[in-house]
Each structure stands twice: as structure tokens, then as C-alpha cells.
A and B are shown apart, each in its own frame.
Chain A
Amino acid sequence: MRRDQQPRPKSPPADFAHIEIGNNAQRLPLVLCLDTSHSMRGTPIESLNEALRSWTRDLRDDVSLSASVEIAVITFGGQCVNAWQGPYPLPPQAGVSPFVSAGAFQPPQLMASGVTLMTEALELAMQIVMARKQELRQSGLQHYRPQICLVTDGIPTDRNGHPTDRWRRLVPVLSHEQQERRFRLYAIGVGGVTSHGAQVLEALAPKFNARLEGFPFRDLLQMMSASASAEQKGAGDEVFEKIFSRFTQRPAWEH
């Protein structure tokens, strides 16, 4: 399935900038928590890869976001949950931050297979956000409220691929953390996500959940950028809801 011919190193180079010196902008950690399970095979994963590439270019060209946004990718597929530092998969417990400045970010080339460890992926997302905030603060850098974007076309499963209810343990945690303004979670169902799948997303992210036809990854990632801009501006909650509602409402000029 891998399309690009260039060999990719298996691990990040040692000099990969952990915290970019000379850039003291307030940071905005952004985690893409992406479903790469079996059902994403074929066109969906290809269009996700393509959307990640064009989003990366757009972000790099955005002088405001590229200095501030830091991206980490988490995938849940195969038999496990993976954190990526740009294009490089990190070994578990690597002790390295997966966050890469948007100006230097390169997307991973994702492949789809396996099960849907959504619960574990969200737990890892919360962990890396917490760790990153600590690193930034120790370096004297402030951060905006981080964004976690969960994208799935299925329902949470265990390691054997059986549907599981373990995600329920996350609901009170997520609710508490968001009340404390520690991050904002977006949960988006794509493709043929079932109504049960949609219910899971609604429980995880009561305010920012959606069920979209097809695989509009490009628009979805643009929405994350728009939210990041609003966060930079210090917008109120209603603005984020407005930006998100673009998934279900058309703007004035299309009426």
C-alpha cells in the first residue's frame, strides 16, 4: 500500500527540535487521534494521507499558526496504539515528545489494518498533552488550550476486535478535564459510522461531535485550523461552537 518510494528512517533523527529556540510564541498543542483500523483500508486511508499532506502545506504557509501550533499524531489500528513524531513512529515509552512544530511538521504515511483501540488512544492523547504542557512550562513557554481531534469510522474494540464498553470509563475523566479547560476534544465519525458509534462520540465529546458522510478529511482538518486560529484570538466558547457547526450548517452566502 505504501505509495511513496523514498525510504523513510525508522526513528527520528537525534537533532529533531524538541523545543524550537528563537520561537517564543505561545504554543498550541494539537493531537490528531486517528482511526487506522481495518475498515479504513483503501480509499479512506488514502484520502486521509492526502488530506494530511495538503493540510501540512497550508499550515506551514500560515505564518500565524505555523509558529504556534504543535502537532502530534496518534493512530489506533493494527494491534496497538501508536504515537508519531512527524513521519516517524515512536516506540512505546520512548520518552520523546511526539509534538512537532507546525512549521516543521511532516505527516506520517498511514496504513490501515487491525482493531479499534479508541479508549487507549484517547488515554495516550491525554497523557502526551499533559506531558507536553509540563515540558513547555518548564521551558518558560505558555500554551493555549490544547485540541484533541478524534476521528473514527467505527466503534471501540478490544485487542481481539470485539466491541467493548471500556470507553465509558473515559467519560467522567474527559468531562472533568474539559471543565478545567485542560483541552478541547473533538470527536468526529466518518464513513459509515453507525448510530451506536455516533452515540459513543456524543458521550465522549458532548459539545463537539459530528457524524459526517464520506471522508471529508480535508474540511475536517481545516476546521481544526480554524479552531486553532480562534484559540489564538482568545475567542469565547460560542465561536468554537460556531466553527464546529459548519459541519452541519451552511454559511450565509450559500443560502
Chain B
Amino acid sequence: MTGPLGSTPVTGPAVLLDGEPVKLADRPLKAGGQAAVFPVISNEGIVVKLYREPPGADQERRLQRMLTMAPLGGRPTHSSQPPELAWPTQLARSPSGQFLGYAMPKFGEPEHVQLVALFGRSMRLRHFPQRADWRFLLGISWNLAFMAARMHQEHLVIGDFSSNNVVVDRDGFVTFLDCDSIAFTDPGTSEYFPCLMQTADYSAPERQKGSPASPATDDFALAVLIYQLLTGGNHPFGGVRRDSDSEATVADNIAASCSYVVLPQQVIVPRGVIDPVVLPPSLLELAREAFGPGVLNPAARPTARDWLRALNAERSRVQVCPDRPGHTYGSHLQSCPWCTHTAATGQDLFNEMTTAPSPAYPLAPAPAGGLQTRTALIAISITVTILVVLLLIALIANS
């Protein structure tokens, strides 16, 4: 037997895009169980996703139908906003014509970082230095809710909605990556394409048991993602259930409908977990619905629109901590929760060093940085205003 991995070709796989041969890098950017994503040597703007096993006629038809669609399009976006969906642009075939995968726009590091990078302190500080305060995280939550609401409005189901397949740029704009797994009904042929992928930590209980993906299962994942964003990365089904066996995971806590946000007395949580009341009351109420009755009853889950409405109201009310840079929080709080957390744990979730309060922010490190930050904030607020207006128009038009 020859070492099969030793036989990795020096040049990448040979593929054709729209009949044109392109050169792929020999090593994939990302390789998972089902597929690998390769950079294209002659075109830095796109990547090619190739399935490990021949993907079959269903998948080929799915991709072909997707090429005829342009979801979440047709709206003016801010010039700096990337598309919200890494939608397929071309099919990838072998020189003999076999369907292998597809090309899509590239959303890679360092410009685009997986959402999960915002959940841990050290990652957050490394990838979003002096940017990722609570206000920024609230803005990302809004962007996620907006994307989900609009997809649902266009009868698309994200299906596999997780912190790994959404990327965020430095302005907080989000892009969903794995579009080939979304569930939709082809408007032309009425053929239904189900979502066959899921991520356990974001799967609603009915999905874990085999039900198809639905807007309600997206809403469950959205609630988890928003909760994680607003609490510095704490999964609402994290922590060890007092009655659980030794191998119980996040997914098991979901299946058991046991969240410390709703049932704090039943779960041992890690030191330094943020008190859920850091969420403003309207958002906390949605979280308690989503992680309480909404776990087992999809109809009781707040929808993406519910989240959007509540997030919208909070965005204009964010307070800025007078004592420490990078500390922003909801209008409902009397004092800065991040200062309290720093005092309790010795660790500042939004600053590198836990030292005495430093005055200048966001002036450091360079004037340009501060200016960019301000420009970006202005850009975001303009975009948000435009989007809200558009959404309202859409809502009105729909009703």
C-alpha cells in the first residue's frame, strides 16, 4: 500500500469553472468531513469548495437552481458592506465533466473572521483589538437577526446556523458561508431541497431528533448566537447539570431543556460566567422564552423579527463606561457590569491589561485608528438607518 496521503498532488485538483480550467492551491484552506475549500491561484477573490465524495445528481441540481437565484439581493447596501451570503457563483467540474463542487466569493481572514472568535476573551482581543465592545456585539446581533429575518421572508431556511459558518468583518457586518446546505423550495419547479447539515450546539431539540430544518430551528440557533454575543461568549446551555451523567454535553442540555438562564439552580456554571441580567429586560425576556418554553415548543420561540425589534430599541440606548475603555452596556444598568466583572475575576473581558483605568479611548494606538473607528461607526449607523427603513417598507408591503 502506498501512503495515500503522501500522494497528495503537488499542484491542486484540476477543475473547470464554466468550462475554463483554473488552478487551485495544493492545500485546502479548510478541510472538513464532507468537503474542502481551496484557494484559486489565478483569482484571489474566489474559493472553490469540492466535495470529498461524488456529490450526486441532487446536489448538482440544487447548486444549478441556486445559480438562478439571487437572495437578499436587490437592496442598496453600504459600499463597505460585504454580501450577507457567500452564494455560489459557478459549478466546478472535473476535466471529464463530472460535478465536483462550486465556486463562491472568498470571505477569509484577516478581513473576515468566524463569529466564534468573538466568544472567548483572548480571541476577541486578538482579532478585534479595541473594536469588539458590547455595542459592537449588539450591532452584530442585530445584523444576524436581520439576515435571518430576511432569509425567512424569502422562504429560505439557513438550517446549519452556527458560530463557525458565519464570518464577521471589522465593521461588524456578517456573511453566512455554507449556502449549499440551506433549505429551500425551488420557485420554478417546486422541488424541495432540505438542509442535511447541523451543528449540535445550535440544534433545537426537534432537529436533534431528526425533524427537518425550519425557520423555528433557525430562530433557536439565532437566540443562542445572540445570547453568546451579548454575554462575552457564554453558551446558554453551557455548564454542568447537577443531575447529568459524566459525558453530558451542550447538546444534551438542550435536549433536556436545561439552561442556567432559566434554571440557574440546576446548573453548575464556570467561574466568571456573566449574569444574564447584563441583557436589557426586553432581550432577557426573549432569551428566557427561547431557553425556557421555547426549547421544547417551537411555536413559543421568539422569531428573528422579535429579536430584531428588541435589538433595534436597545442600539440607541447603549451607555459608555466613564472609567474604562471598551466598556459599553445597556441602559437598564446602574453601573458598568464589565468593571464589576473585572473586579470579581481580575480579568477585563474587553481590555488586554487589567490595570488602572486609562483615559484615552479610542485615540490609541494611532489617530488614524480612532478616525477609522469613528468612520466605521458612522457607516454602520447610516447603513442601519437605511436597512431599518427598508425593512419597515418590506414589512408594510407584506402585511
Of B112-120, B286-294, B303-311, B321-329, the one touching chain A? B112-120
Please, which residue of chain B has its CB at the minimum distance from the CB of A249?
Answer: B4
Which residues of A have CB within 8 Å of B4?
A: 246-250
Among A22, A25, A254, chain B packs the most CB atoms within 10 A around the CB of: A22
Please, which residue of chain A has its CB at the minimum distance from the CB of B239?
Answer: A140
Which residues of B have CB within 8 Å of A251?
A: 36, 50, 52-53
Partner of B269, one of A61, A133, A140, A226: A140
Q: Is the CB of A219 within 8 A of B5?
A: yes
Interface string of A217-236 (1 = CB under 8 A from B): 00110100010011011110
Interface size bracket, A side = 35 or more
**Given known contacts A24-B270, A103-B123, is B33 in contact with A242 (CB within 8 Å)?**
yes
Of B69-77, B139-147, B247-255, B387-395, the one touching chain A? B247-255
Q: Is the CB of B2 within 8 A of A213?
A: yes
Main SS class of interface, B: loop
Q: Is the CB of B114 within 8 A of A252?
A: no
A203 an interface residue at 8 Å Cβ cutoff?
no
Q: Is the CB of A26 within 8 A of B51?
A: no
Q: Which of B160-187 contact A (CB under 8 A)?
A: 162-164
Partner of A63, one of B113, B235, B269: B113
Which residues of A have CB within 8 Å of B15?
A: 253
B349 an interface residue at 8 Å Cβ cutoff?
yes
Determine the distance from Cα of A143 to Cα of B2 in the docked complex, in whole angstroms: 37
B45 an interface residue at 8 Å Cβ cutoff?
no
Q: Which of B1-25 contact A (CB under 8 A)?
A: 1-9, 13, 15
**Given known contacts A63-B117, A133-B246, is B53 in contact with A252 (CB within 8 Å)?**
yes
Of B195-203, B211-219, B355-363, B378-386, the one touching chain A? B195-203
Interface string of A1-43 (1 = CB under 8 A from B): 0000000000000000001111111100000000000000000
Q: Is the CB of A26 within 8 A of B199?
A: no
Q: Is the CB of A22 within 8 A of B347?
A: yes
Determine the distance from Cα of A80 to Cα of B1 in the docked complex, in whole angstroms: 33
Q: Is the CB of B271 within 8 A of A21?
A: yes
A124 an interface residue at 8 Å Cβ cutoff?
no
Determine the distance from Cα of A239 to Cα of B33 in the docked complex, in whole angstroms: 6
**Given known contacts A67-B120, A103-B123, A216-B3, is B232 in contact with A22 (CB within 8 Å)?**
yes
Partner of B272, one of A21, A133, A254: A21
A75 an interface residue at 8 Å Cβ cutoff?
no
B263 an interface residue at 8 Å Cβ cutoff?
no
B315 an interface residue at 8 Å Cβ cutoff?
no
Q: Is the CB of B116 within 8 A of A139?
A: no
A99 an interface residue at 8 Å Cβ cutoff?
no
B90 an interface residue at 8 Å Cβ cutoff?
no
Q: Is the CB of A142 within 8 A of B239?
A: yes
Q: Is the CB of B201 within 8 A of A26?
A: yes
Determine the distance from Cα of A214 to Cα of B6 in the docked complex, in whole angstroms: 8
Nearest CB of chain B from residue A57's CB, rounded to whole Å: 13
Interface string of B32-73 (1 = CB under 8 A from A): 111010000000000000111111000000000000000000
Determine the distance from Cα of A142 to Cα of B224 in the docked complex, in whole angstroms: 17
B333 an interface residue at 8 Å Cβ cutoff?
no
Interface string of A89-109 (1 = CB under 8 A from B): 000000000000001000000
Which residues of A have CB within 8 Å of B198?
A: 233-234
Q: Is the CB of B122 within 8 A of A24?
A: no
Q: Which of B246-305 contact A (CB under 8 A)?
A: 246-251, 253, 267-273
B127 an interface residue at 8 Å Cβ cutoff?
yes
B229 an interface residue at 8 Å Cβ cutoff?
no
Q: Is the CB of A234 within 8 A of B201?
A: yes
Nearest CB of chain B from residue A156's CB, rounded to whole Å: 23
Q: Is the CB of A26 within 8 A of B50?
A: no
Q: Which of B332-369 contact A (CB under 8 A)?
A: 345, 347, 349
Interface string of B76-90 (1 = CB under 8 A from A): 000000000000000
B373 an interface residue at 8 Å Cβ cutoff?
no
Q: List 22 A-B contacts (CB under 8 A).
A: A21-B345, A21-B347, A22-B232, A23-B233, A26-B249, A63-B117, A64-B116, A67-B119, A141-B238, A141-B270, A142-B253, A212-B5, A216-B3, A226-B33, A232-B164, A242-B53, A247-B4, A247-B5, A249-B4, A252-B52, A254-B9, A254-B13
Q: Which 6 residue pairs of A and B lie closest in terms of their CB atoms, listed nearest first?
A: A234-B200, A22-B121, A213-B3, A219-B5, A253-B13, A63-B117
Task: Give residues in A with beta carbon < 8 Å to B.
Answer: 19-26, 61, 63-64, 66-67, 103, 133, 137, 139-145, 180-182, 211-214, 216, 219-220, 222, 226, 229-230, 232-235, 239-240, 242-243, 246-254
Q: A21-B272, A234-B199, A254-B13 are in contact. List 4 more A-B contacts (CB 8 A).
A: A23-B121, A64-B164, A213-B2, A252-B100
